[in-house]
Every structure is written in structure tokens, then in C-alpha cells.
Structure 1
């Protein structure tokens, strides 16, 4: 009796679109195409959803980082050399998008007992603003039905002494903040009022205020066009804001990455108009959702819940899903040189009009003809010329960094930890009430943009040293219960993973490539990239048409936010 094949054949063998990888941008595109009536095949070589946006257990995370930090051997020739009279075969391989991976455990027994009870974000730290377009997008697409959120309770500005200062993000918070002087409070209030007046003026004045008092408060002199185009930091200096207030606004509210005071070296100088837009987003996020205490929310079970939510929407519309399946080659039309289909590790050929690849896949260079028509057309699949990287750290700690708060964000502005620090460092602590770790433990994500691994690791270590008690790295076998219980004001580090991630951009053609997770705190750039790619592929199709079924419309109109 013949044994069944290792890989069951996929039927049908022709689709409108094939999407490889189940990361957030790939899952959004698959869901959007399925909602528009396209036939879609969605493939992932992993046995989990999310790809580079996944939330993984400790063993899964360790395996994924190690596997994706080294170049894999090319696929076996038995599956790739066969061609036909109609198409040629171009082999694919996986390029390493992580490097300098360091994984250390300082409490082996404790973590071995709980290693599968963690859901660790590969792309952390990351949150959603309560008022940004990602929320509206989740609701419109229907993916919000499959994700639940909790509030990030507070935001802080950190310094080199381990002190965490409250971020005054509302009128009530400003008045309650005991670290601000009366003069600082007054100037900050006047500045917020000026921004509100500018926003009211730029909206065309068509909104009617609920009462005259609010109307009078919003009537403040507008900001000149000259000031709107000048650097935001210069405008705040013109408004006589103290240095501490400028730091809070620039780095903990506007989320600037680079040192705005150093215009010569700053890689992204924030203009006043952009700074005001970010300030408006932050302020409108505070209080938008009933159960959210601050400006941010976070998915229960981790950021890795978002890609499967879009995959579920796609599956409802007929998208075909295949996990544990590797794509090993592209099929190219011999006469036109255009994309025709893919070859799977099973040996089966699948055809489609369009293809979207996750950023890990690249074409093997053809040494015999490096400048042939295919490699000229799709050379971006061979490139790794990425000018910037993001350093990421994941720490498991024994106690909260703030005894009375479980979930919060900390921002270290440039030069706040050491003189050569030219970028912001962000740290996000999450507790067991988000179901990402066992009760009594916490997960701390740290990230910073960097040019190389040395700089990146220095940034991460500076933040961790300011926040945590790090065991002796020379003897990281285990720590005693006494060390855990008597670690002083800082929390004790139990486990950590440090790694450098490449930043890659999306490319749009008949073969398209999605971006890697960015260094941003939110998802907006990723969703914008997915929308741009979709509109490039299907310019006459609406991005997620309103096709909500009557029985689901009630759930689709709101976001599930737990108390």
C-alpha cells in the first residue's frame, strides 16, 4: 500500500495572488485581496502565524532568531532544476535579517518551568495609539473581532540615575504632576492651548464647540507658515519652553528618534507642522477609549495576535492557507521574462498573476549571467544594502520597575544616558494581566535605531543598566532566591535576548516584497506600506470595501478593550 505524500497537493493550482509569509503587511494584503473577491493562496514556511511580527515562546524565539541569523544552504537541486518550454526556474533562498544574537538565562530552573508560558514579540516594543488610523483600520477590516486589547497605564521619561518622570499628557496630568514647577506648568498649558488653536484653525473652523468657554480657550493666535516649516525644537525654544518640557514633548509625546538639538547629525529633523500633528495624535488618544488610562493600548497575548486576526478575515473570504511550506523557486516566462508562478518544497508548481514575498526571501545570484533580464528587473530581491538597523532587547524580570504599575512605556531621550547616545531608546514593560507572561513576572522590551551592532548593543545595555539589576555576566548559571527577593529598587534580570534586526523597505512590482518591522512604536508605517502595495497591484479596487455582514456589524463598530 502506498504511503500518503509528505506534502498534500494544493488544489487549485492557479490563483490571482500568492502571498508568502504571514507577517502583518502580508496578512493585511491577503485579507484585503480576499475581501475584494480575489483568489488568494497564503503560504508560510513556519508552523506559526506572524513571521517577523510573531509573538513566540522562549524555545520558539530562540530557534527563530538562530535560524534567521545565518545564511541557509540553497534548496536541493532535485526540486529546482526542472523547467519547461514555457518557463525558467530562478532559485530562492533565505537571507539572514538578524545578527549578533545573544541569549542569556540567569535563572534556569525558574524559566524551564515556564518557558512555554511566555508570548514574546519579535518586533517589540510596539503599541497602538488609541486615536490613530490603525484602530480605525482594524475596525473597518473586521480584524478587531479577533483581537482584544488592554490599556498601557502610563508613560515615563527616564534618566541616567534610574529615575522615571511622569509624562504630563493632559490638563489633569499637568496639574497633578509634582515634579513640574508652577512656571513649567503654565508654559506647558499655554503651549498645548496654542497647538489646539492651530489645529482648530487648520480644520477650517467648521466644528461647533459645545460651549463658549471651550470656544474661548481654543481661540489663540495661530502659528505662522514660517514657524510651521522650521524645526520643531527651534519653535519650542522660541516659545520659551524649558529644556525638560522640550524633552518630554519631543521624545515622549512626538516620539522623535534622533537628537533634535544637533541639526548637523540629526537624520530626521522634525518640522513644527509634523511635531504638532504628533502632539495632536497623542492628546486625542488620551481618553478616547473608555477603559484606556493613557494614550496607548496593547493586544492581549502579544502583538503576534494581529497578523492572525487579518488571516482569519481572509480565510472567511476564501483565502487558502498552507503553513510549514517553503517556497524554493520562482517560475519566469521564457519569452517575456515576467513572473509566472512559484515552486514549493513539495515540488508542486503553483501559478498566479501577482506575488508578494516576505523580506526574508531573496533570489540566488546567477554568476553566469548576473545582468540578465530577470536580475535587472528584480534586482531588489538580491539587495541587502540597508543603511540602518534596529537593536532589540527582550528581558524577563522578576518584579515591576514601578511597584504600582504593570504596563508602561519609558523613553530615554538622546544623550540622557551617555554623551554619545544620538537616538532615543524606548522600553515597554508588560505584566501578566496581558497574558504574555506568568503572574509575578514581567516582560521588558527595549529598542533603538542604530548604524551597527556595536552601537546598538551599547544603547540597549545603557537602558538595561539604568533599569535593571543585571547578574554577573561571567557566571550566568543561576541566581538564588535571596538575590531575587533582595535586589533592591531595581528589578532583577532573569533572561534576555539581544539582537540586531535589518530594516528593509517594501518594493512594488509584479513580484513585490514587504518591509521588515520598523523602529517605530506604532504600526502606521507598516499599514501604509501594505496599503500602497495593494493599491499598486489593484489600482481600481477599494482597500477593504465595506462588506460587513449584518450579524457582525455590531462587533465591527467597536474595539474590544478589557478593563
Structure 2
């Protein structure tokens, strides 16, 4: 038994809710339940917060992805003192990542792994006026975080050009790539949308148009292809080619497109220190999960990391859920259970569950969403735009190659957001795909367009030479500029120092015999995930309000509060 870690006993042993996994949906539910005066035990087998929504050091990311690319056997726990009281259903983990490809062209980076905070589920931003910001403000969770503005949005093409998105009246006037006729049409369109949203009867968009495809409405408005592309994919954030109904899995209606434009417009200028429509958290997106865990801890939630859960306890007579068995052998009981999406319930070979449970088990399996999402993380020493550090780039469908049927999004983040070494930049790339091969083709198309990718030992040596001063940069972080000026070597394209490419399964949240939360989706923001999280909370606690306003009358502001006990 020497190989069993000395897991600490948990006291008490009965809770209203057990939550397994500290991903963002689980952390929000734990905070909401704690706010509703429920006793909550929040467990995670990992030694860190965030799970698949975390931000990890450079050296930890590959091992995390690899550990979730196979289905390891769960830790074995000692047998129950009363084996006749419960049926034990073992937990197994489902592989969620595949086609993992890690490339290192500068070994010096590994020496400073802890200087990196790399998002597992990038690219992600928060619209200044979206549901995630409203939730942070409503719950007071914003006390635990800091943000910086994502300064600009661009649309890219297959020649490496990055075109500014004219997303406001001032931006339209300044845009030199648009002709006078194009500017006038775009101004008239924005004026129509603003009038409709303001309820002006003389400019109201008809119900027939609102229910029609957004791309048809844009055609009806006489907008040229370039402007249509900007609106559809860089402002309304459509995922699929809206003009090809044969491949479009999510045809955007005009009403939804207008709502997206309204969100984008409301986000610009909402905060005085944010010039663009987006915010990004200092230290990475993993801070969101940690912030909600802190909020839950303040409200009494008990946290235990490094605690694997091995089995589900169900009543032998009724088949009803009773609790979980920990790797320590301890049984913990609760009325409700929330699971990280990696978990699935399995039966021992040759065993048969009780009849009530047998009828429920087929419903408990992770539900696939539409295909996969390909993700890429790249580290460079120069910015894609010499004068801008933090910005978003959107590649509309067909903009890189004819078979590209989905949008590809790229987010560049600089060291001023504490995600990388001083003077360096992290690029997050993502695209929806049907399979791993298609996903890699999409990510590689962006990398080959924007970056110089070393291919041999000679170019590898050049990269190592370029990063020879990393150590001195770390010693003087405050003096190093992160403004993203042109490369000293005069290269037209930044040179790739490190990259991670992988595909992620898309899974939906589930409310049935047991509740399972969703994986990170393919969206740029968290609105859909927050909607799903809210529905799960409503299902398990229909009588409780989701973060009532009264919860902020006397908010606990303890800057030193730690969510882990």
C-alpha cells in the first residue's frame, strides 16, 4: 500500500453538493450553490485550479494534454466497510485531446517555464458588455482579477495582410482601405441597426427580415463582399461559411446577427481604460476559475486538490445516487453531484446494476457536440503588428484556401499581461473542424502565412541565437518593452520559438442521472457556457436564485482569502 498517497481525511462527510473538477462551469456552480447557503465540497485530482479552462506553465501544458489523450485506469481504493449497502460504479476518464504536436525551437524557454501562463482553451476574450463581465460584477468576483484591453481587431488574408475592422464611426472614417461608397453604405447600415435597437419605428427592421439569414439581409442592404465579411465574421463572429448552406452548420439569423452587433457596439468604450471591445485577464484565462473558487471559499465551500475520485455510490435497492468514493477509500455523501466532463461511469466486467439504475445508466454518457475544435499555441519574440501588442485576427471562411469552410481566430497576447517572458508574445489559434487532419490543416495555414517556422538545424540555431538574451530579460522585466516593435534581425515575419497543436473534443453539458458540465466550446467568449451553467444550476436547485442581488449587500472582500483549505 506504499504507493497510495497519504490523502487527508475529509470532515464532515456529508454535503448538499459535491463538485468534481475546478473548470469554469464547475467553479461557477460551486460559487452559486455556496451563495445559496448549500454545503459544498469541491474536489479536483489536479494540483491546480481550472482543469480544461486553466492557464499552465510551459512545461506543464504538454503533460496535461497527454494525460487527457488516453483513458487511464482510475486509482484503486480500499473496499468498503459495508459492501452490501451500496453498488460501486467505477469512474473512468474519457480522452478529450488528440493529435498533440509539441515543437520546441528554443530549449532556453524551458528554463523559464514558470514565466508562462498558457491557456488550455485559447483563444478567449471577454466582451466588455457580455454575460461574463456582468456575472463578475454581479457576484463581486471581479475583486480577485485584473484585466487589460485587447486593443484592435483585424481580418487576415492568405498574403499575410491584416486589415483593420471598421467597427465604429470613427474607425470607418479613418479606414484607408475602404472607398467613399463603401464607407457610406457601412455608415447607413450601422445607423439602421442603431435605430432598430433604439426602437425607432421609421427604421425598424421587419420581423420577416429578422427571421431571415443574416447574410441575405446584408445582401439586401447592398453591402459589398469585403464589408459583409467584416460584419459576419469579425463582428458577428459567425463560425461557418454563411453563403454556403451545404457546409454551414449554424446559419446566423438576422436577429442573432443584430444582437451580436449590439454586443460588440456596447462593448466599445464601456470602460475608460479599454480602447477596444475586448478584455483579457492578467495571468491568463485560468484566473476566471480561480476567482469563482475564491468566491465560493468565502461563502464556505470546502476545497481539496490532488484528490482523485474512484467510484460512484448508489443505493442497491433504488439505484439512486448517494455519494462518491475517494482514492483514500473514504466515502463522502451528498444530495447532488456535478462532474467534470472527462468523467464517465463504468461497470465492472460481469457485474449487473440494480434494475432502477440499469434504466438510467444508458443516458449518462458524454454527448458530442458538432465535431472538434483545433487549437494552436505559438510563442514568438516579435509581434505580428510592430505597433500593437494585444489584438485579435479573424480569418473568414475561404480566406486562406478554398476548402476552408470555418472561421479561424487568432489572439496575440504580450508579456504586459503576464503570460510570457518580457518582450515575447503568445499566439492562440482555433478553428472548428470535423477531424484531426482538417484541424491541423487549418492551424498550419495560419502559421505558414504569418510566421517563419524553423525546419532544420541551421534555422534552429538561429532561433537559439535570437533568444540567447532570455536570461537577462528575466532579470529586468520592468525595463523590457512589450510594445511589439519590429524584429532586430529585420525579418518580415516573426520566427516561431515554440508551438503546441492539438484537437479537443466538443462535449455538451448534461442534466440527467448525474450532471456533467460542458467542455470549452469553439466560441470566442463564454456566453454559451454561462447559459449552460445557469441551466444546470436551475435544474439541480430550481428553488434557488442564481447569485441573488442581495448576496452583494455585505460582500466579503478579503484579499488574502485562499480557496484551498
What TM-score comes out, normalization by structure 2 length? 0.91
- Name the CA shift for 1:251/1:122 in 2 (closer, same or farther; >3 Å): same
Q: Matches of 1:387 and 1:544 in 2, distance apart?
A: 31
The 1:473–1:304 alpha-carbon spacing in structure 2 relative to 1, beyond 3 Å, is farther
Is the partner of 2:511 in helix, strand or coil?
coil
Give yes or no for contact 1:66–1:101 (8 Å, CA) kept in 2. Answer: yes
Aligned to 1:503, what secondary structure does the other structure show? strand
Structure 2: distance between partners of 1:544 and 1:379: 33
2:427 is the counterpart of 1:427? no
SS, match of residue 142 in structure 2: helix
Question: Structure 1: which 5+ residue stretches go unaligned?
Answer: 202-217, 557-563
Give 1:145's aligned residue.
143
* Aligned twin of 2:99: 100
In structure 2, relative to structure 1, the CA distance for the partners of 1:74 and 1:21 (3 Å cut) is closer
1:347 alignment counterpart: 329
Q: What CA RMSD, in Å, does the superposition of the two structures yield over aligned residues?
A: 2.3
2:476 corresponds to: none
2:226 match: secondary structure: helix
Q: Secondary structure at the match of 2:323?
A: strand
Deviation, structure 1 residue 379: 2.9
Q: Secondary structure at the match of 1:114?
A: helix
1:5-24 alignment to 2 at 5 Å? 6-24=6-24
User: How far is 1:73 from its partner?
Assistant: 2.1
Rounded Cα–Cα distance in structure 1 between residues aligned with 2:439 and 2:74: 30
Choose from 503, 525, 533 the match for 2:536: 533
* Residue aligning to 1:459: 442
Whole-angstrom CA distance in 2 between matches of 1:338 and 1:20: 18
Find the partner of 1:403 among 380, 386, 398: 386
Q: 1:142: Cα distance to partner?
A: 1.5
Q: Is the 8 A contact 2:131 2:530 kept in 1?
A: no
* Paired residues for 1:175-186 under 5 Å: 175-186=173-184
Deviation at 1:480, TM superposition (A): 4.3
Distance 1:373 1:550 in 2: 45
Once the two structures are superposed, what CA deviation does each residue of 1:309-335 show, in whole Å capped at 9, x if it has no partner? 011111111100000000000000111
> Are 2:488 and 1:490 aligned?
no
> How far apart, CA to CA, are the structure 2 residues paired with 1:60 and 1:482?
24
State how far apart, in whole Å, the 2-side matches of 1:151 and 1:60 are.
27
1:269-308 pair list within 5 angstroms: 269-308=251-290
Q: Take 1:160 and 1:100, find their aligned partners in 2: how far apart are those partners?
A: 25
Superposition deviation, residue 482 in structure 1: 5.9
Go from structure 1 to structure 2 and tell me whether the alpha carbon gap of 1:94 and 1:396 turns closer, same or farther (over 3 Å shift). same
More moved, 538-547 vs 292-301 = 538-547
Partner of 2:425: 442
For the residues of structure 1 that align with 2:52 and 2:433, how far apart are their CA atoms?
19
CA contact under 8 A between 1:395 and 1:493: conserved in structure 2?
yes
**Aligned twin of 1:87:** 86
Whether contact under 8 Å (2:19, 2:337) holds in the other structure is: yes
Instruction: Decide whether aligned partners of structure 1 residues 473 and 317 sit closer, same or farther in structure 2, where only a CA change above 3 A counts.
Output: farther
Per-residue CA deviations over 1:377-424 (Å, capped at 9, x if unaligned) read: 133444465541100001011101001100000000000000000000
Select 2:116's aligned residue among 118, 125, 136.
118
Q: Could you tell me how far apart the structure 1 residues matched to 2:364 and 2:146 are?
A: 36
Q: Is the 8 A contact 2:339 2:516 kept in 1?
A: yes
Aligned residue for 2:320? 338
Aligned to 1:364: 346
1:163 corresponds, among 155, 161, 164, to 161
| Alpha-carbon distance change, 359 to 375 in structure 1, aligned in 2, over 3 angstroms | farther
Distance across 2 between alignment mates of 1:230 and 1:292: 34
Listed as ranges, the matches of 1:120-135 within 5 Å are 120-135=118-133
* Partner Cα distance (1:387, 1:264) in 2: 15
Cα distance in 2 between the residues matched to 1:344 and 1:473: 49
Q: Is residue 212 of structure 2 the alignment partner of residue 230 of structure 1?
A: yes
Q: Which residue of 1 aligns with 2:224?
A: 242
Q: CA deviation at 1:481?
A: 2.7
